């Protein structure tokens, strides 16, 4: 028997019956790897390090916890309309439009303590998320986030920009 370490392109794509995913050893999710599963409400990927574009997109998830994730590609978690909370304690890079159209997203926890997270081109990352969105960052890095991204964070596009006051919160 083998251990699944990678989910290839469209491994779990558009499965109307898929409600739960658990892969304890998977470290990589390919393009559309777990996507367009409207009834998928639970996901456990404790070893995932990298998520490709649309890797966990258009699902019915309310919470995502990726404790080992370091890199989320553009559109990686796009369009999860019921998503409310995301925990990314080790992430260092987030692609543009990664969380766009997650319109119920209110809390993102970034716990990387060595340096601030790089938002690719600081563009569209949280476009069309909840107007109450808060990005929780370590208190020792709060000033660095404000210095780089500002109080009115510019991590969403000018075309559909929503300005969120005090997006960054230092409460970790």
Which pLDDT score, from 0 to 100, does residue 145 have? 78
Q: What is the pLDDT of residues 41-56, one digit of tens each?
A: 999 999 999 999 999 9
Res 161 pLDDT > 50? no
Q: Is residue 150 pLDDT above 70, yes or no? A: no
Q: Please tell me the distance from the alpha carbon of residue 136 to that of residue 126, in angstroms, as a whole number.
A: 14
Using CA atoms, how far apart are residues 54 and 9, in angstroms rounded to an integer? 10
Q: pTM for the full model?
A: 0.88
- Residue 126 near residue 105, CB atoms below 8 Å: yes
Res 167: pLDDT: 65
Segment of 28-32, 93-97, 137-141 carrying the highest mean pLDDT: 28-32
Higher per-residue pLDDT: 123 or 75: 75
Instruction: Return the closest-CA partner of residue 4 out of 29, 34, 32.
Output: 29
């Amino acid at each position: 028997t083998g251990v699944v370490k990678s989910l290839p392109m469209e491994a779990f794509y558009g499965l109307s019956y898929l409600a739960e995913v658990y892969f304890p050893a998977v470290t990589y999710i390919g393009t559309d790897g777990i996507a367009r599963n409207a009834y998928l409400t639970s996901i456990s990927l404790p070893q995932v390090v990298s998520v490709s574009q649309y890797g966990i997109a258009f699902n019915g998830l309310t919470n995502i916890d990726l404790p080992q994730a370091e890199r989320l590609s553009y559109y990686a978690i796009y369009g999860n309309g019921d998503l409310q909370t995301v925990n990314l304690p080790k992430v260092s890079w987030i692609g543009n439009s990664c969380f766009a159209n997650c319109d119920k997203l209110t809390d993102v926890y970034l716990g990387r303590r060595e340096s601030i997270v790089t938002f690719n081109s600081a563009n569209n990352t949280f476009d069309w998320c909840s107007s109450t969105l808060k990005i929780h960052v370590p208190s020792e890095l709060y000033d660095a986030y404000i210095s780089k991204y500002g109080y009115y964070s510019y991590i969403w596009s000018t075309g559909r920009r929503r300005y969120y006051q005090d997006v960054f919160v230092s409460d970790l």
